[in-house]
A and B are shown apart, each in its own frame.
Chain A
Amino acid sequence: MAKIDSDKEDVPVQLNASSLAPAPDMSRRIATGDEHPVCPLSIHDMTVAYHRKPVLWDIDLDMPEGKLIGIVGPNGAGKSTLIKACLDLIPKASGLVSYYGKPYSKQRGLVGYVPQRESVDWDFPVSALDVVAMGRYGKIGWCRPVSKAHKKAAFDALDRVGLADYAKRQISQLSGGQQQRVFLARALAQEAKVYFMDEPFAAVDAATEKAIVQILHDLKSTGRTTLVVHHDLQTVREYFDWVVLLNMRIVAAGPVEEVFSQENLQKTYGGKLTLLDQAAQAMAGIKQ
């Protein structure tokens, strides 16, 4: 699988019609059918642009409930952008995102978020427990301090990721892996039903990786839906039930055993869609 990455440069630019057209649709809208008529996350025809330059084109996705879903793709594929657009953190050029049939603004309480660890300044003067308690702020509401009950909930979340002993520690005095687990605990404290995690496995130690995998399984066994931006292709089969292969558009999405094929990976990581990229540049008004 590592081969695919190194092949990136070698593959001649293929501008065949099939790569521009929407990817084969079979796995895109899997009928979750049986149990839930309304799926936890449904993205319909979403396009996202930065400074008018599209980075995600026409995303259509229906996520099944209670699955661990990996989002995989090369650098610049728009993985974090996908998450941020779903959370209304960046504006969508077009399209709709709904959670159990309602827009995000109505369902915030059901959605938990683990941002990238580098997105904050860990020198901030707060303790690990304070950070985890931030996951409760949505439930606490305006102007009220964090009550004992909420503090307890935060502590329990911290305990679940194995950091109960570090509750009082200032966050810059934690290792990178521990910081990542603090972020995870904060999301757990949100008590959400749908979770977004942006590269939680990036540069963590073995103990943290194990702890995160354990948490992912806990979330799954309690019926939560979890989307994880993931970099390590080796572990996709081991960690996830479902996978979304992304490279500016959805290459394939579906159960790992069906979708995670050499061919689809080749499409995701191999032949770059230069036309898509050029069109994006043109729309941003950048002269080449």
Chain B
Amino acid sequence: MGTAHGSPHIHVNNEMAGGFVGTASEAEGAIQEFLEIAFVPEFHTMLVVLSTLILGAAAGMIGTFLLLRKQSLMGDALSHATLPGIGIAFMVMVAFGGSGKNMPGLLIGAAVFGLVGAGSVLFITRNTRLKSDAALGIVLSVYFGLGVALLGIIQQMPTGSAAGLNSFIYGKPSTVIIEDLYLIAGVALAVTIVCTLLFKELALLCFDECFASAQGWPITRLDASMLALATAVLVIGLQAVGLILVIAMLIIPPAAARFWTEKLKPMMIGSAVIGALSGWFGAVISAMATSLPAGAVIVLMATTIFLFSMIFGSSRGILKQAMGQYRLRRKIGHQHLLRACYESLESRIESVADEVFLSKGSSVTFDSLLSKRSWSPKQLRRLIQRSTKSGDVTSHPSTENEIRLTSQGLREGARLVRNHRLWEIYLITHADIAPSHVDRDADQIEHVLDSDLIERLEQLLDTHGAAKSVPASPHELNGGAVS
């Protein structure tokens, strides 16, 4: 770097530093604002935040059962079907001389049409040979189209232009008033009570409908109450999140919660918590940046939690599963190494407790091990390092080219070779598989044979007399190749 270029560099650096200072203080301010709105908001903001929080919790709870009943998309058809209901309710109220902007009236219209939509899906699937995906697609688009058309007509009406019915499509939480909060809290309370009282009934319905029905549970009525609650949640969510995105509140929280648990109750509670957090943070963030539509922010919050759960979930997260795979691969590599060592030394080993052999320290060379399997020198070196740490092998400190089994490694190696060969012999004698074919199978099985299976193999092959000795390989170990 020449000095000629020095000053612009410094200049840029300064600018960047300045920028950082700026963003840092901005970020600080933003965090402060976030915390303020989150914990000590003004009255109206609090109203909005509380309503989306409660809505999220209720949606997460009932969404758990909807997801497990594989009815999530039914919720989507249902929410889209509410739009014509809103339009018709508005028109009816205007026709009877009202302003048409009466919220309970609009929501009743929405709920009625939501249920009509759900009924249409059931009608189509029961009376035609169309599958439910087609039925859902048809109902969703037809009712939504009808709704959009009705809103178009309402726009032309003298009272219609100011009605703001469009906000039901994308949601507008800032329009929430105290009565709406009471309504949301009431629905949430109903959801909580039903999900608690009918917990085992709903669980049974979702898990095994046939068995539930055979036991005499009224599955149609249980399904209906589940859908009715989902409808109630969707309808009260219309105002805040909008009918296009409200379905996300039903699906995403339970799907995220599933990554953390294998039990239903924790899943339901977790889902409610995730829903509540999404509603809370989403509302706060959109209150800070008024240009961001709240519905979208809430859904994005839920998605963030979902992605986090998908990766880090303690029960079925990707990381957890990858760890399991990784551990298994390590174990297999380790066992392959011990078996390769044992088989190389086999001719020189008298017994597993061969102290003389161990003290003499017969060793295997790195190169002879390398030819045993299709592993690269780098892989093999890493395997040897790990097995050295676990105390099964030692390698000569100066050369690192000669590997010895410790007494622990010798015993383990003998056990693995024995398991491998017992399985090979079993395949040859009991499954009529050619000796030339058995090695590859045994290579997979040897890592998973537990003591129970080994015992049964011993019984079958009648190797009791031979105590725990290692049988000779049923096939040639030619050229030192093990696999």
Question: Does B46 sit at the interface, judged by CB under 8 A?
Answer: no
Knowing A113-B214, A145-B200, the reply to whether A125 touches B261 (Cβ < 8 A) is yes
A105, A111, A115: the one within 8 Å of B210 (CB)? A115
Question: Does B197 sit at the interface, judged by CB under 8 A?
Answer: yes
Give 1 or 0 for each of B443-481: 1 = CB within 8 Å of chain A CB.
000000000000000000000000000000000000000
Within 8 A of A (CB), among B151-201: 197-201
Smallest beta-carbon distance A104→chain B, Å: 9
Give 1 or 0 for each of B328-344: 1 = CB within 8 Å of chain A CB.
00000000000000000
Knowing A126-B203, A143-B197, the reply to whether A134 touches B216 (Cβ < 8 A) is no
How far is it, in angstroms, between the C-alpha of A170 and the C-alpha of B213 when the chains are bound? 24
B197, B201, B211, B263: the one within 8 Å of A113 (CB)? B211
Within 8 A of A (CB), among B205-261: 206-208, 210-211, 213-217, 258, 261
| Residue pair A89, B213 in contact (C-beta under 8 Å) | yes
Give 1 or 0 for each of A101-132: 1 = CB within 8 Å of chain B CB.
00001001001010100011100111100110
Question: Does B267 sit at the interface, judged by CB under 8 A?
Answer: yes
Q: How would you classify the secondary structure of chain B's contact residues: helix, strand, loop or mixed?
A: helix
| Residue pair A119, B258 in contact (C-beta under 8 Å) | no
Question: Does A236 sit at the interface, judged by CB under 8 A?
Answer: no
Interface size on B, residues (CB 8 A): 25
How far is it, in angstroms, between the C-alpha of A133 and the C-alpha of B212 when the chains are bound? 12
| Residue pair A87, B214 in contact (C-beta under 8 Å) | yes
How far is it, in angstroms, between the C-alpha of A89 and the C-alpha of B264 when the chains are bound? 26
- Which residues of chain A have C-beta atoms less than 8 A from B267's C-beta? 125
How far is it, in angstroms, between the C-alpha of A146 and the C-alpha of B210 when the chains are bound? 20
| Residue pair B207, A120 in contact (C-beta under 8 Å) | yes
Question: Does A138 sit at the interface, judged by CB under 8 A?
Answer: yes
Smallest beta-carbon distance B376→chain A, Å: 35
| Residue pair A126, B264 in contact (C-beta under 8 Å) | yes
- Which residues of chain B have C-beta atoms less than 8 A from A124's C-beta? 68, 206-207, 264
Question: Does A5 sit at the interface, judged by CB under 8 A?
Answer: no
Question: Does B262 sit at the interface, judged by CB under 8 A?
Answer: yes
How far is it, in angstroms, between the C-alpha of A140 and the C-alpha of B263 when the chains are bound? 21
How far is it, in angstroms, between the C-alpha of A124 and the C-alpha of B207 when the chains are bound? 7
- Which residues of chain A have C-beta atoms less than 8 A from B211's C-beta? 113, 115, 134, 186
Interface size on A, residues (CB 8 A): 28
- Which residues of chain B have C-beta atoms less than 8 A from A137's C-beta? 200-201, 204, 215, 217
Question: Does A7 sit at the interface, judged by CB under 8 A?
Answer: no
Give 1 or 0 for each of B408-433: 1 = CB within 8 Å of chain A CB.
00000000000000000000000000
Query: Which of A87, A137, A140, A145 counts the most chain B CB atoms within 10 A?
Result: A137
How far is it, in angstroms, between the C-alpha of A138 and the C-alpha of B208 when the chains are bound? 14
Closest chain A residue to B268 by CB distance?
A125
How far is it, in angstroms, between the C-alpha of A141 and the C-alpha of B11 when the chains are bound? 77
In the assembled complex, 21 residue pairs joining A and B whose CB atoms fall closer than 8 Å, in A order, are: A84-B210, A87-B214, A88-B213, A89-B214, A108-B215, A113-B211, A119-B210, A120-B207, A121-B70, A124-B68, A125-B258, A125-B262, A125-B263, A125-B267, A126-B203, A134-B208, A138-B215, A138-B216, A143-B201, A145-B200, A170-B262
Please report B residues at the A interface, Cβ cutoff 8 Å: 68, 70, 197-201, 203-204, 206-208, 210-211, 213-217, 258, 261-264, 267
A108-B214, A115-B208 given; 18 more Cβ-contact pairs under 8 Å: A87-B214, A88-B214, A89-B210, A89-B213, A113-B210, A119-B210, A120-B207, A124-B68, A124-B264, A125-B258, A126-B263, A130-B203, A130-B263, A143-B197, A145-B199, A170-B262, A170-B263, A186-B211
